[in-house]
Each structure stands twice: as C-alpha cells, then as structure tokens.
C-alpha cells in the first residue's frame, strides 16, 4: 500500500476545492446519500433537459478528501452527457473501483479516464471504497427518482 | 506488575502489524487482551468445557463454580453489596437495553420523561428511543458546556416532576469528561429518581465503588476492560432486580413452568436466560485479576500521565484542535486538523501503525452540537507509553505534510 496512490495531487486538489459544490435553483432531480459509519453525507442535484441530457449538476455535503474529490470529479465528468451515457459511466466507474483494472467505456476521453483512475487507489483501502462510491450511488438514485436515501450500510 | 513493562503481557504487540510496531490508540473502542485472558479461553475450551448451571456431572459443576467465581470477583471489584446484584449480559449495550426495557415496561407511561445528556453514546439513547416510540415518553438531554462537560447544574436544570429515570455516562468517549456521578445520584435520590450510569468508559479506567456511588444501575463492557468480547455486566441494586420483570425468557431463568403459568427463578438467574457466554465470563475473571494486580490507582495514574503528556504535545502541534477541555478528564483525546477530514487522518496514521478511530464515535447528538460531522480520537489503555504519543504526533505531522499544511 502506498499513500501516494491514494492521495494523489488531483485528489487533494478536488478534495480541497471541490468543483460544483452547492445547489442551483432549477434542478429537476436530486437525491441524498449517507455513510452512517462516519456521518458523511452528500446531496446531488441535477437538471435533465427534454433530450435527457444533464444540463447542470452540483452537490452539497461534507466528507473526507476521497469523497469530496470523487463527487467533484464525477459532477465535472457527467455534465453535458445523456442519461444513458451517465449510467454507463457510473457502472464502469463502480466496476473499476470494485474489481476491474481499467475503465472500458468509450464515452469518456482518455484524459477523463486518467482523471477518474486517480480514484483507483482506494481499492487498496477496503474501508475507504465507500467514500469514493457514495456520490456515484447517489447520482444513480437521483436519475431513478428514488425517494430512498442512499446508504453505504444496510 | 510494573506498568511501564506491561506491553509484553499483550501478545498483539509481539508481532509487527503491516510491517509496523503497533501503536494502539483505540482502547475506548475496545482494549487489547492480555495473554492470561486469551489462555484462559483456550484452557477452558480444551480442558474444562461444559455448560453451566444445569447438569450435575463433574465438568458442569466445575464450570458452574468458575462462572460464579467471576460474579464474586466483579462484585468485589466494584464493591457491590451482594453478588446477586451482578448480572452477566452480552455487553454494556444489552445491560442498558435490559434496564430500559424492564423499567420502561413497569414504570414508564405516556408523558413521562427520561433524562439523558448530549454526550451519550448511541447505546444510551436508542434503547430509550424505543420507549419513546412504544409508550410516547419524552427524552430530555442535559446540555454540555463549552468545555465538553455535563455539570450537576445542567442535569438539575432538566429534572422535572415528570422525570422517572436519569441515565448518564460516567466518562465521555469523545471529550473524556468524567461526570459528577455521585453528586448526580445524590441529587436524583432526593427526588426519588433512580439513576443508571453507562460505565463503558468508566469501568476500565476509574476506581469503582457501587456502595459509595449509590447508583441504581451501572453498565459495564467486558471487552473494554481487557476482557473478551460478548461479555458485559449490569450492576443493579437488589431491590430493582427483585422488583423489575425479567428481560428475556428461556432456559435457566425459570422456577416452575406449567401450562397454566410460569414462575421465574431467583436472582441472578432471573436475568440470565439461555446459555450465557460461559467461556467469556470465566475468562473475564482473568481480566479483573489482571487489573487488580496492576492496581486501579496505578492504572489511573499511568493514564493521567499519558493524557497530560498527550495534551501538551498535541496542543503544541499547530492546526490540531482538541475537542473539549473538561476539568476532570479520562484518557481520551478527540481532535480535528484544520483542512484534513478525520477519515483521511486515520488512514494516513494507520500507514505508520498508529491505530486511532475516526467518525462520530456513536455520538451523533454530541457531534451535531459541536457542529462537527466527525472527529479523530486517540484513546489510551494500560499498555500505552509516551513513545506511542510521540509516534502519534509524528504521524500527524506526516498527515499535514501530505495535505500541504
């Protein structure tokens, strides 16, 4: 294990200065997520237009560098994408965090993939995987209009 | 037993953990186990095992005697009047649930108030919340002050003529505040209110005298006292154990069972239904003996020295913010680092073998009050040394470096 894999410069940067942090007025989908073990939480807001494209996305919440960076990078990455593309990216990301060595989707450009792969260091820290995945599960919940609050624990 | 040399009594420190010497600063969560306790479990299972309290064969009688010896040891250790005032449970959580459930059944009804404090562990809130749901009782919280303490005055302020029971921590697992429990009991008794003390953090670190404290109930966690998991103690005054209904039904707790009705067993069997954690109870006796051998006054002194050293060291460390400043404080230092989330702190410290806890420590009410989602916490046990604190301090510096602080 190497801390440098976990706390890469890009993670520290997004963790310290998360992009898209806050809430905007005309969102039409949102969902909340909690990590009851540590008390971290996230609230994802997004606006899907008539063509099912993510026009805008933002999040509120607090958490560790990993969870903040993950939400920050995620929101950057899915803005402008269509709903089904977003879902493909989410599935690909979660697959990578859990088991796969790399990202497989063609939707993301190489530099975007590199950015996302900066989160792959959490694989070596099983207790921290939930920090990286919480906002992604919450995004899915928002898209699916689920009223259920996403929890990392059952 | 020399306290400065105590680490070697604990096998966990014999080997490296992830290539590091273990710096274990998570004893408020659970303590490590001395060899005598671990060996006792092995010996009991390999040479002496039987269930207790039922059969009359040699092993059963011997096991029953061993099991009952722990009860007497606990009684003496906490200076309870009678050995029947010691009830074994699976932990302090079950001990509190037992009281909430049975006392609630018999004495609480709609509109009655249970008085807790803002620094309670979830295990001393959730069981009362069940009663709030089932019986529509009210739960009041005595407030913490800016130093992270709960004073006698804060308790007094929340007592009304509806208050039916007061349930408070002996020692906060977050701020380390030691509550004035004797004074709280004295005050409560002038108003005929019984008091339950959650002694999870008290019992492993402070001298206990039930007859002096005079509380009605005291909950103890075995695994925080260098004992096995799965074992706790409820101390309760005999009058309560005789008066309250049984908690769980099953074998061992009955007197006579007929189709028409059932009568319950004598104390302490009335509250020990089913096969108990026999091996753990028997091994818990070794934990008590271990602590007695060191001497609780030596444990208190040692941990106070560590606390003073730790506070001084961390106060000097820029950007470390220590949570709470109670005048009477146990060996717990909760802290935050400006700009680094507690979970990141814990992961980075772990890389150097420094084991701490991060999160809300099962005290969300307290963290809401402090307006902090989480804190990092270093907590001490008999085996800790000043060297451990130096390593904590170094690891914190590494953490600051990674985050460019």
Tens of pLDDT, residue by residue over B295-354, are 999 999 999 999 999 999 999 998 899 999 999 999 999 999 999 999 999 999 999 999
- Cβ contacts (< 8 Å) between B347 and chain A: which residues? 3, 6, 125, 128
Please count the other Cβ atoms lying within 10 Å of the Cβ belonging to residue B307: 19
As a whole number of angstroms, the distance between CA B193 and CA B164 comes to: 6
Is B359 close to A7, i.e. CB distance below 8 A? no
Residue B2: what pLDDT? Answer: 75
Q: Which of residues 104-143 of A touch B (CB under 8 A)?
A: 125, 128, 131
Average pLDDT of chain B, as a whole number: 96
Nearest to A5 by CA among A114, A93, A119, A92: A119
Two structure tokens written together for A74: 């995620």
Is B347 close to A6, i.e. CB distance below 8 A? yes
Residue B54: what pLDDT? Answer: 81
pLDDT interval class at B386 (50, 70, 90) = very high
CA distances from B93 to B177, B233, B338 (A): 20, 10, 34
Residue A77: what pLDDT? Answer: 95
A11–chain B Cβ distance below 8 A for any pair? no
Domain of residue A111, CATH code: 3.90.1010.10
Is A91 inside a domain boundary? Answer: yes
Is the sign of the CA dihedral B354, B359, B363, B369 positive or negative?
A: positive
Q: Which H or E element spans position A29?
A: strand A29-35
| CATH class of the domain defined by B3-30+295-402 | alpha beta
| CATH class of the domain defined by B38-292 | alpha beta
Residue B113 phi, psi (nearest 5): -115, 140
Is A154 inside a domain boundary? Answer: no
Domain of A62, in residue numbers: 3-143
Domain boundaries defined on chain B: 3-30+295-402, 38-292
DSSP per-residue letters across A30-63 = EEEEEETTTTEEEEEEEEE-TTSBEEEEEEEEE-
CA distances from B273 to B177, B256, B267, B269 (A): 35, 14, 12, 7
Residue B319: what pLDDT? Answer: 87
Question: Min CA distance, B341 vs chain A (Å)?
Answer: 5
Is A12 close to B342, i.e. CB distance below 8 A? no
Residue B373: what pLDDT? Answer: 85
Is the sign of the CA dihedral B321, B399, A7, B358 positive or negative?
A: negative
- Cβ contacts (< 8 Å) between B351 and chain A: which residues? 1, 3
With 60 as the cut, is the pLDDT of residue A154 above it?
no
This complex has an ipTM of 0.86
Question: Min CA distance, B369 vs chain A (Å)?
Answer: 14
Higher pLDDT, B56 or B197: B197
Q: Give the number of domains in chain A.
A: 1
With 80 as the cut, is the pLDDT of residue A153 above it?
no
Q: What is the pLDDT of residues A64-113, one digit of tens each?
A: 999 999 999 999 999 999 999 999 999 999 999 988 999 999 999 999 99
| ω into B268 cis (within 30 of 0) | yes
Mean pLDDT of all residues in A27-45: 89
* Chain B nearest-CA residue for A11: B403
Is residue B143 within 8 Å of B150, Cβ to Cβ? yes
Strand partners, B173: none
Tokens 């995987």 locate to A129
Is A64 close to B339, i.e. CB distance below 8 A? no
Is A149 inside a domain boundary? Answer: no
Of all residues in chain B, the percent with pLDDT exceeding 90 is 93
* Chain B nearest-CA residue for A37: B359
Q: What is the pLDDT of residues B243-298, one digit of tens each?
A: 999 999 999 899 999 999 999 999 999 999 999 999 999 999 999 999 999 999 99
pLDDT interval class at A151 (50, 70, 90) = confident
Q: What is the pLDDT of residues B24-53, one digit of tens each?
A: 999 999 999 999 999 999 999 999 999 998
Is A64 inside a domain boundary? Answer: yes
Higher pLDDT, B233 or A151: B233
Of A38, A41, A65, the CB nearest to B358: A38
Residue B1: what pLDDT? Answer: 66
With 90 as the cut, is the pLDDT of residue A4 above it?
no
Of A3, A12, A40, the CB nearest to B373: A40
Residue A73: what pLDDT? Answer: 97
Residue B139: what pLDDT? Answer: 98
- CB environment B380-395: b (16+ within 10 A), e (fewer): bbbbbbeebbebbbeb
Long-range CB contacts (within 8 A, 24+) of A137-140:
A137/A33, A137/A94, A138/A31, A138/A32, A138/A33, A138/A42, A138/A43, A138/A44, A139/A31, A139/A44, A139/A46, A139/A74, A139/A78, A139/A86, A139/A90, A140/A87, A140/A90
Q: What is the pLDDT of residues B220-229, one digit of tens each?
A: 999 999 999 9
Over its C-alpha atoms, chain A yields an Rg (Å, rounded) of: 14
As a whole number of angstroms, the distance between CA B256 and CA B224 comes to: 37
Question: Min CA distance, A64 vs chain B (Å)?
Answer: 5
Given B200, B362, B363, B399, which residue is catalytic? B362
B360–chain A Cβ distance below 8 A for any pair? yes
B241–chain A Cβ distance below 8 A for any pair? no
Q: Is A2 helix (H, G, I), strand (E, B) or coil?
A: coil
Residue A1: what pLDDT? Answer: 59
User: Is B362 known to be catalytic?
Assistant: yes
């Amino acid at each position: 294990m190497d801390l440098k894999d976990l706390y890469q410069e890009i993670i520290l940067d997004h963790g310290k200065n998360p992009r898209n942090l806050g809430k905007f007025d005309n969102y039409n989908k949102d969902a909340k997520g909690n990590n009851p073990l540590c008390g971290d939480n996230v609230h994802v807001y997004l606006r899907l237009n008539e063509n099912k494209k993510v026009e805008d996305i933002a999040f509120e919440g607090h958490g560790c560098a990993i969870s903040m960076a993950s939400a920050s990078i995620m929101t950057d990455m899915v803005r402008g994408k269509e709903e089904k593309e977003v879902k493909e990216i989410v599935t690909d990301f979660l697959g990578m965090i859990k088991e796969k060595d790399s990202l497989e989707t063609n939707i993301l450009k190489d530099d975007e993939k590199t950015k996302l792969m900066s989160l792959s260091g959490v694989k070596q820290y099983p207790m921290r995987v939930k920090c990286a995945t919480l906002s992604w599960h919450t995004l899915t919940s928002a898209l699916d209009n689920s009223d259920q609050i996403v929890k990392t624990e059952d | 037993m020399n306290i400065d040399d105590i680490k070697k009594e604990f096998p966990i420190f014999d080997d490296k953990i992830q290539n590091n010497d273990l710096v274990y600063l998570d004893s408020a969560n659970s303590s490590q186990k001395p060899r005598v306790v671990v060996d006792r479990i092995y010996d009991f299972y390999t040479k002496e095992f039987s269930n207790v309290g039922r059969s009359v064969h040699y092993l059963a009688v011997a096991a029953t005697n061993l099991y009952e010896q722990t009860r007497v040891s606990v009684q003496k250790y906490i200076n309870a009047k009678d050995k029947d005032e010691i009830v074994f449970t699976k932990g302090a959580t079950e001990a509190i649930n037992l009281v909430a459930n049975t006392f609630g059944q018999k004495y609480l009804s709609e509109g009655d108030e249970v008085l807790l404090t803002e620094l309670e562990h979830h295990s001393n809130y959730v069981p009362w919340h069940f009663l709030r749901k089932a019986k529509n009782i009210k739960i009041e919280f005595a407030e913490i002050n800016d130093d992270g303490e709960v004073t006698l005055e804060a308790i007094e302020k929340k007592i009304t003529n509806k208050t039916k029971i007061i349930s408070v921590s002996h020692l906060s697992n977050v701020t380390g505040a030691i509550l004035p429990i004797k004074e709280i009991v004295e005050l409560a008794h002038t108003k005929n209110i019984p008091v339950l003390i959650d002694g999870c953090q008290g019992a492993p670190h402070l001298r206990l005298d039930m007859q002096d404290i005079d509380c009605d109930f005291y909950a103890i966690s075995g695994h925080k006292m260098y004992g096995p998991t799965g074992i706790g103690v409820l101390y309760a005054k005999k009058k309560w154990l005789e008066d309250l209904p049984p908690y769980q039904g099953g074998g061992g707790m009955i007197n006579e069972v007929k189709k028409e009705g059932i009568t319950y067993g004598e104390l302490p069997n009335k509250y020990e239904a089913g096969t108990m954690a026999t091996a753990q109870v028997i091994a818990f006796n070794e934990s008590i003996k271990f602590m007695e051998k060191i001497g609780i006054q030596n444990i208190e002194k040692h941990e106070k020295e560590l606390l003073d050293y730790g506070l001084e060291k961390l106060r000097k460390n820029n950007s470390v913010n220590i949570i709470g400043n109670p005048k009477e404080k146990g060996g717990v230092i909760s802290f935050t680092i400006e700009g680094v989330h507690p979970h990141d702190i814990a992961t980075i410290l772990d890389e150097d073998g420094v084991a701490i806890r991060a999160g809300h420590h099962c005290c969300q009410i307290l963290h809401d009050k402090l307006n902090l989602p989480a804190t990092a916490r270093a907590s001490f046990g008999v085996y800790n040394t000043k060297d451990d604190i130096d390593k904590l301090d170094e690891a914190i510096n590494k953490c600051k470096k990674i985050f460019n602080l």
